[in-house]
């Protein structure tokens, strides 16, 4: 079953879901229903370093994951 997500960031970046490039920021896309780790592509100048969240949104009410510009210092190496 699919769920819908929007990952927000001030600029366009690739979005990684569980280490796999999956979409772009600021656009809606679908992923499998469930808990996923969300990251952005390099440069790693954003916060939080990643988000682990239950993705269960619908096209009318997608799950929104927000990243902000700025570095927290807790990024843990390259994206898988």
Tell me the C-alpha to C-alpha distance, in Å, between residue 27 and each of 9, 60, 64, 69, 72: 10, 13, 10, 18, 25
Dump pLDDT digits (tens) for 22-69.
999 999 999 999 999 999 999 999 999 999 999 998 989 999 999 999
Whether residue 79 is predicted with pLDDT greater than 70 in this model: the reply is no
Confidence grade of residue 1 (pLDDT, cut at 50, 70, 90)? confident
Q: In the chain, what are the domains?
A: 2-69 (2.60.40)
pTM of the predicted structure, to 2 decimals: 0.85
Average pLDDT over residues 4-18: 97
How many Å apart are CA 37 and CA 25, to the nearest integer? Answer: 15
pLDDT at 4: 95
The token duo for 40 is 């952005």
The DSSP bridge partners found for residue 34 are 55
Integer CA distances (angstroms), 35 to 10, 60, 73, in order: 24, 20, 24
């Amino acid at each position: 079953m699919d769920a819908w997500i929007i990952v927000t960031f001030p600029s366009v970046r690739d979005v990684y879901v569980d280490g796999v490039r999956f979409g772009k920021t600021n656009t809606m896309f679908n992923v499998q229903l469930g808990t996923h780790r969300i990251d952005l592509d390099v440069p790693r100048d954003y916060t939080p370093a990643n988000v682990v969240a239950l993705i269960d949104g619908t096209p009318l009410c997608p799950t929104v994951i927000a990243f902000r510009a700025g570095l927290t210092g807790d990024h843990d190496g390259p994206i898988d």
